[in-house]
Amino acid sequence: MRPRALVRSIVDASELGEDGVLALISDVLTSAPTTIVGPGDDCAVLEVTGPVVATTDVLVEGEHFVQDWSSPYDIGERAAAQNLADVAAMGAHPSALVVGMALPGHAAGEWVRECARGLADRARAIGAGIEGGDLTRSRGGIVISVTALGDLRGRTPVLRSGARVGDAIVIAGTLGMSRTGFELYDAGRMTPTGLAEEATSEKPVRELAEACAAVFRAPNPPLHTAIGAAARLHAMMDVSDGLARDCQRIARASGVSMCLDSTLLAPDCQRVAPLDELCRSTAWSRVLRGGEDHAFVATCAPDAIPTGFRIIGSVESASGIDVSVDSQPLTGPLGWESLA
Give Cβ neighbours of residue 204 (< 8 Å, ≥ 6 apart).
274
Asked if 135 and 107 count as a contact pair (C-beta separation under 8 A), the reply is no
> Measuring CA to CA, which residue among 238, 236, 227 is closest to residue 254?
236
Residue 57 assigned as binding residue: yes
Residue 55 assigned as binding residue: yes
Residue 293 assigned as binding residue: no
> Measuring CA to CA, which residue among 119, 39, 29, 106 is closest to residue 72?
119
Residue 160 assigned as binding residue: yes
Residue 238 assigned as binding residue: yes
Give backbone dihedrals phi and psi of 158, rounded to 5 degrees, phi first: -90, 115
Give backbone dihedrals phi and psi of 132, rounded to 5 degrees, phi first: 145, -170
Asked if 119 and 258 count as a contact pair (C-beta separation under 8 A), the reply is no
Residue 136 assigned as binding residue: no
Residue 71 assigned as binding residue: no
Residue 268 assigned as binding residue: no
In degrees, rounded to 5, the angle at the alpha carbon of residue 167 between the alpha carbons of residues 166 and 171 is 150
Q: Give the C-alpha separation, 219 to 85, whole Å.
A: 10
Q: Give the C-alpha separation, 26 to 17, whole Å.
A: 14
Residue 133 assigned as binding residue: yes
Residue 121 assigned as binding residue: no
Q: What burial letters (b/e) apply to 213-234, b meaning 16+ CB within 10 Å?
A: bebbbbbbbbbebbbbbbebbb
Residue 42 assigned as binding residue: yes
Q: What burial class does residue 6 get, using C-beta atoms within 10 Å of its C-beta: 0-12 exposed, 13-18 middle, 19+ buried?
A: exposed
Q: What burial class does residue 247 get, using C-beta atoms within 10 Å of its C-beta: 0-12 exposed, 13-18 middle, 19+ buried?
A: buried
Residue 284 assigned as binding residue: no
Give backbone dihedrals phi and psi of 119, rounded to 5 degrees, phi first: -60, -50
Asked if 58 and 143 count as a contact pair (C-beta separation under 8 A), the reply is yes
Q: Give the C-alpha separation, 290 to 216, whole Å.
A: 11
Dihedral of CA 109/114/119/125: which sign? positive
Residue 303 assigned as binding residue: no
Annotated binding site: 42, 55-57, 64, 86, 133-134, 160, 238, 240-241, 292, 336
Annotated binding-site members for substrate: 64, 292, 336
Binding site for ATP: residue ranges? Answer: 133-134, 160, 240
The annotated binding site for Mg(2+) is made up of 42, 55-57, 86, 134, 238, 241
